[in-house]
Structure 1
Amino acid sequence: DTLWDLAIAEVEKREKADNDDKHAEVWERSVLFMGNKNGGKTTIILRCLKREEIPKPTLALEYTFGRRARRPDTPKDVAHFWELGGGTSLMELIRIPITSNSIRTFAVVLVLDLSKPNELWTTMEKLLQVTRNHVNKILAKLEKTNPEVATEIKQRMWNNLQRDHPLKVLTVIFWGLFLSCMFQYQLFQEFDSEARKIISKTLRFVSHYYGASLVFTSKSEALLLKAHALINHLAFGYDKSKSVSADHSKPLFIPAGMDSLSQIGPPPASDSDIAKLHANTPLELWKKVFEKTFPPKSSCDLQDTRDPAQDLQYAEHEVDVMRAQKKQ
């Protein structure tokens, strides 16, 4: 080919790329943040959206969105960010953002407070159970109305799981797109080494069990950047990080599918103690081992006792006047 032929081919290639970009499909994804009260959910969302704002307490279920272009001069994709407040007290509200229309491109970020290990399992279990039940209802309905979509969602979940995954044996269906994110790492570092090991190994198992990524993060710039990268993967489809940090003496960073049962090892307890626990499933066994060291708080202790009506952040003069008159 002559130089002129090569120049023509390059121009045609660029024109074709420009034309493809003009007709590029705009993607919409949704991410639900839930977890401990005051666990750092709002901070993570603001960081991902690059907003310099002071985080405010989340009352119930809050919504915001972000837009990003995959390449210059292309339509911006949209990410819908939902945040569930109140810890486990308002978990039924997850039915609002997770619907049959959004489930194909939906992800969940579970934010847990590492400095409160006695709340970890209860908070995690309640939120995951409600989410799983709701998602399974949607999938059951889709199997009747749109079986192709239901099959696609399930297949995507199985593709994210490794061969030794316990769900391959137990055939428990759960939604595959899941990110587990931890906060308050600074206070977690003050625990003794054995306590940190038990918490870390347990969270590794739970994350692997549910096909989740596991990230220990805090207000540290380096750790926030790692969490930011994974959430960008969920929200905007950016490439997922392949780096792994599984050393229990350091902040964990394990993307979904990068861990295994052989690497995690058995529950941190002696064989004689494990024999006394009488667990029916691997998840139940890990729960009993964990709660032996960190007895769970009662559900009452985890309820949000604040009265939003007394919060000046939500003051409405006319409404407040009428409420005052009603009380008289």
Structure 2
Amino acid sequence: MSKVSSDTLWDVAAAEVRRRESRTGEEEAEEDAHFPSQRTVFFMGSKAGGKTTILLRFLDRDETAKPTLALEYTFGRRARGHNTPKDIAHLWELGGGISLSDLVQIPITADNVSFLSVLLVLDLSKPNALWETMESLLGSARNQVEKVCAALQKTGESRSGKQQVPRVLHKDYPDRELISPFPVPLLIVGSKYDIFQDFDSEKRKVICKTLRFLAHFYGASLIFTSSKSETTMSKSRSFINQLAFGTERPKSVSTDPSKPLAIPSGSDSLSQIGPPVTSEVDIGTLHAKNPLDLWKKVFERVFPHESTKERKELKDPVKDPQFSEPLIDSIRSQKDQELDQYKREQAKSWKSLALDP
């Protein structure tokens, strides 16, 4: 006769927790190999900068990119090997450039922050808007990550798994004490390289050095790409694969300003980057508070900031043809007409009241 266990459900659960806590590294790796991983990559960047195209090419989807109105979600899957579960990458894309940065709170949450990466697309063909785009979007994302992490620490909860948040660079990271790493893995993508390569060589040099500094300062990887070049798109996919599925980090490095940049995180240094390009600027006249502020002032002397006015340019989604719904649109049109008629009638009523003795 078999022995009946007297353990309650809570006893069994507690025993399982103790077993998992006592696992060795090899046992943990072997057990985790049987379960799919789930990571989140948040795409954001310049308006009409090519985010959707990069995302579709990463997913190997032969589709025509449509403008992203606000915030869109999709996912990708990748098998680790034969007869193994497929890992899942949750992919969020923020449209509208800096105009909808408040929406970062949706894809950056307590449930995914431990396995979150950010991909920032900067339009190389519009350098005058580059710094504002970078500063605004990274600032919004950083604030949300820090807010989520602070809430987790306050409640004593831990969803960090193997990766702790905020992110901590390894002790041998170049210039570790002089930089301010982004709290989660960050990839900066310079898009529209096909247009950028026709810029004046000195202007290309300023942009390349500035983006190298920014990437190194934030502990990010940097890649230049063009939808018209399969070579650069292929390199971009390898960088995104690392964020989305934890694949091996790309090893090739290209820092030549006459070629597309490709610099994995930790492969650059302040000594290799050198000082800001100052042929048109006297650094002595600049009153910078810190190195980041100095690079900003030098960059904006060469490429003066131009307001993008993106908030005013946002289109009414009701009138966007990609969201067309004939039946609903017909009813909406009828309601709009009824509303206009109501407004006219009310206006007449108020005028008549005002004229009464």
- Taking structure 1 as the reference length, the TM-score comes to 0.87
CA contact (8 A) 2:69 2:96 kept: yes
Query: Which of the two has higher C-alpha Rg?
Result: 2
Match of 1:260 among 251, 269, 273: 269
Aligned to 2:58: 48
Higher relative contact order (CA 8 A, sep 6+): 1
- 1:68-126 Cα offsets, whole Å, 9 max, x none, are 11111100000011111111111111110110110111111101110000110111111
Q: Deviation of residue 163 (structure 1)?
A: 3.9
2:330 paired residue among 315, 321, 325: 321
Could you tell me whether the CA contact under 8 Å between 1:86 and 1:303 is conserved in 2? no
> Shift of the alpha carbon at 1:271?
11
Equivalenced residues, count = 307
Question: 1:35–1:110: 8 Å Cα contact kept in structure 2?
Answer: yes
Question: Does the CA-based 8 Å contact 2:280-2:302 persist in structure 1?
Answer: no
Query: What is the CA–CA distance in structure 1 between the aligned matches of 2:311 and 2:223, rounded to whole Å?
Result: 23
The match for 1:159 among 156, 170, 174 is 170
The aligned residue for residue 197 of structure 1 is: 205
Q: Deviations over 1:127-176 (max 9, x none)?
A: 011011111111211222347656953474322872413xx247x56313
Q: Do the aligned residues in 2 keep the contact of 1:160 with 1:257 (CA within 8 Å)?
A: no
Q: State the SS of the aligned residue for 1:157.
A: coil
Q: Higher helix fraction: Structure 1 or Structure 2?
A: 1
User: Is this contact kept in 1: 2:191–2:225, CA < 8 A?
Assistant: yes
Taking a change above 3 Å as real, the CA distance of residues 149 and 28 of structure 1, as seen in their structure-2 partners, is: closer
Q: Aligned partners of 2:39 and 2:242: how far apart in 1?
A: 10
| CA separation of 1:288 and 1:303: change in aligned 2, threshold 3 A | farther
In structure 1, distance between residues paired with 2:192 and 2:238: 19
Asked if 1:295 corresponds to 2:304, the answer is yes
Matched residues in 2 for 1:147 and 1:288: separation? 41
1:236 corresponds to 2:245: yes
Match of 1:28 in 2: 38
C-alpha displacement of 1:322: 3.1
Aligned residue in 1 for 2:16? none
Counting aligned pairs with the same residue, the percent is 53
Match 1:226 to one of 230, 235, 246: 235
Aligned residues: CA RMSD:
2.4
Extract unaligned runs of 5+ from structure 2: 1-29, 338-357
Which 5+ residue runs of structure 1 have no aligned equivalent?
1-19
Task: Evaluate the alpha carbon distance shift between residue 211 and residue 302 of structure 1 in structure 2; reply closer, same or farther with a 3 A threshold.
Answer: farther
The code of the aligned residue for 1:290 comes to F
Counterparts of 1:281 and 1:58, CA distance in 2: 36
In structure 2, distance between residues paired with 1:302 and 1:288? 25
Residue 278 of structure 2 is matched in structure 1 by 269
Contact 2:96/2:310 (8 A) holds in 1: no
Q: Which residue pairs with 1:115 in the alignment?
A: 125
- Tell me by how many angstroms 1:49 deviates: 1.1
Per-residue deviation, 1:280: 0.4
- SS of residue matched to 1:158: coil
Distance 1:87 1:117 in 2: 14
Corresponding residue number in structure 2 for 1:184: 192
Off by >4 Å, runs of 4+ in structure 1: 20-23, 147-152
User: 1: distance between equivalents of 2:237 and 2:122?
Assistant: 16
What's the counterpart of residue 15 of structure 1? none
Q: CA separation in 1, counterparts of 2:205 and 2:153?
A: 42
Q: Amino acid of the residue matched to residue 52 of structure 1? A: D
Matches within 5 A, 1:87-102: 87-102=97-112
Task: Say which of 222, 228, 236 aligns to 1:214.
Answer: 222
**Shift in Å, 1:301:** 5.3
In the alignment, the residues of structure 2 paired with residue 32 and residue 138 of structure 1 have an alpha-carbon distance, to the nearest angstrom, of 15
Equivalent position amino acid for 1:249 in 2: S
Residues 71-82 of structure 1: pairs in structure 2 closer than 5 A: 71-82=81-92
